[in-house]
Structure 1
Amino acid sequence: MDQQDPVRPSARGSRHFADFATALRYWRDKRGYTQLRLSSESGISQRHISFLESGRSQPSREMVLKLGIVLDIPLRERNVMLLAAGYAPAYREGRLSDPELAAVKQALDFMLTQHAPYPALVVDRLWNLVMANAPATMMMRWLLDMPNDTPLPREGVNVLKLMLDPNGVRQHLLNWKDVCADLLHWIQREAMSDGLGSEAASLLDELIALPEIGETTRLPNLDARALPFLPMQIRKDGVALNLFTSIATMGTPHDVTVHELRIESFFPADDGTARWFREHAAGA
């Protein structure tokens, strides 16, 4: 392999660092840390950090984990750093259907159920749909003109693509450009947190390539808002809905899968919207 290449392809085709020294330099630069600042916050001497980055010293497993915490590296990428240093991953990455995550799945089911009659979704870090409550399924069917008995697919559905596709939800969003700016901001944050060969950056490129989306790649105009949140203004079949969302995480320092989940809850921004969801829940 060319010695100038700082990364190597893994068996799955993703890109990993060729060695720990390269990984540490990459993340320190990405976080904007000097060696002195990293030394001060980690309690590791600047001399030793310099030796680690030059490859003259090799870290212990505990040191890799400490540096990952100080640099606020995502759990998935901390595993990559451990592999680059010659250690086994520290953070498990399973599936929500695994028996070990049954309690988490039960908690998510409870939260989604309790949020009814309003929609709520669970997505992964790339906004792929993982779970949805009944009101979310009803709203998606209505917006996408799907028959009521059609199940909402769980595999291969990306919520961001669904929202921003001109043939998807976007055609019913009156303020789609503002919503677009917010959604792109979220995935841009994920791309900034990812390591080399970022899946989030690839998704961001896909979204920007959608018709008219590239023209809206700007930060949300917070100063222009009369409300302390961004409403989603939906209009379809003579129905006007005003919603806003909150996003929560299942923070855990142990499991990559759970750490990357996002819970998006929709709330009514006016009485008419609240009444519409209550009536549809009663008629379900």
Structure 2
Amino acid sequence: MLDGHVEAAQARGDGYFSDFGSALRYWRTRRGYSQLRLAVDGGVSQRHLSFLESGRAQPSRDLVLKLGIVLDVPLRQRNAMLLAAGFAPAYQERNLSDPELSSVMQALDFMLRQQAPFPALVVDRLWNLVMFNEPAAGFMKWLLGLPLDAAIPRDGSINVLRLMLDPDGLRPRFVNWQAVCADSLLWIQREAMADGPGSEATALLAELSAFPGMQAAGQVADGHLPNLDRRALPFLPLTIVHEGVELNLFTTITTLGTPHDVTVHELRLESFFPADKATADWFRQRFGAAT
């Protein structure tokens, strides 16, 4: 049974580390833990922890899970650590159409509808679009010049970051595109660092970084610091100009707390809010009847 899990994980690109010691050392370093601190918090001896990282000792399944919790390792990577240690994954990864996720989907659909007349959408960890409300669909069609009856797929085939950062996509609509691109790169950079080398997130980061003009945005991301000027807005505005209309928005990201499923753990609800009255009025007039 374990061989099947390993083969499936390798096919998906989940096996980022060839052995448990490398995975443990990677996450301990990423979290800024010394071996002594992790040993104390994990309830093991520093000597045993050193042996685990060097490959001189093998962990139990319970210890892998415990260290993953202490280091706050994402569920997908906890499964990868288990696989590297020779154990089957502990956390399921269901499809969103799975009946067991129906209550989660209903809750997300409720939140999407409550956000109207303003846009809201649900993406996975790589920012592939899986759900959205009617204002988000209408807003996307307007920005892309699509007919009103055009279908927006919900199967994850649209990558929101790729659509935003591509010069042939929505990027020309953003007045402050460098700042928007920098923030977007930070999200996928975090995923790439969490996933480790050879991951889908790393490949997506490389693809997005290769877009024309992204080097300048990347420099903004590398030196990303908040504007502490008292007159500055307390959020990054998305300033959009299209067909003579200027809209000022900001977004919030919501995640589901304490999930025990990889898919649910990686879902994000992005809600768009008007940053001024003129923008609020435009959305109310255009999508006020949307539900």
- Higher relative contact order (CA closer than 8 Å, sequence separation 6+): 2
Aligned to 2:255: 249
Tell me if the contact between 2:16 and 2:199 (Cα under 8 Å) persists in the aligned partners.
no
Matched, 1:123 2:127: no
CA deviations on 1:25-63 (whole Å, 9 max, x unpaired) are 232233332211211221211011122223332211111
Q: Distance in 2 between matches of 1:28 and 1:18?
A: 17
Matched residue count? 277
Aligned to 2:244: 238
Give the alignment's Cα RMSD to 1 decimal. 1.8
Q: Distance in 2 between matches of 1:56 and 1:177?
A: 48
Structure 2 gaps, min length 5: 1-6
Aligned to 2:274: 268
Q: Find the residue that maps to 1:79 and give its secondary structure.
A: helix
Aligned to 1:5: none
1:170 aligned partner, one-letter code? R
Tell me if the contact between 1:94 and 1:257 (Cα under 8 Å) persists in the aligned partners.
yes
1:278 is displaced (CA, Å) by 0.7
| TM-score of the aligned structures, taking structure 2 as reference length | 0.90
Tell me if the contact between 1:77 and 1:195 (Cα under 8 Å) persists in the aligned partners.
no
Q: Distance in 2 between matches of 1:112 and 1:283?
A: 14
1:98 is displaced (CA, Å) by 0.4
After superposing the two structures, state which structure 1 stretch, 240-249 or 56-65, moved more: 56-65
CA deviations on 1:58-117 (whole Å, 9 max, x unpaired) are 211111101001112111011111112222111010111101100000000000000100
Aligned to 1:94: 94
1:9 is displaced (CA, Å) by 10
Label 1:221 to 1:28 Cα distance change in 2 as closer, same or farther (>3 A): closer
Label 1:63 to 1:111 Cα distance change in 2 as closer, same or farther (>3 A): same
Q: What is the percentage of aligned positions where both structures have the same residue? A: 63
Aligned to 1:222: 226
Q: Distance in 1 between matches of 2:42 and 2:193?
A: 22
Label 1:9 to 1:118 Cα distance change in 2 as closer, same or farther (>3 A): closer
Aligned to 1:183: 184
Aligned to 1:12: 11
Aligned to 2:29: 29
Label 1:255 to 1:96 Cα distance change in 2 as closer, same or farther (>3 A): same
Aligned to 1:51: 51
Tell me if the contact between 2:253 and 2:270 (Cα under 8 Å) persists in the aligned partners.
yes
Q: Distance in 1 between matches of 2:29 and 2:254?
A: 29
Q: Distance in 1 between matches of 2:102 and 2:71?
A: 31
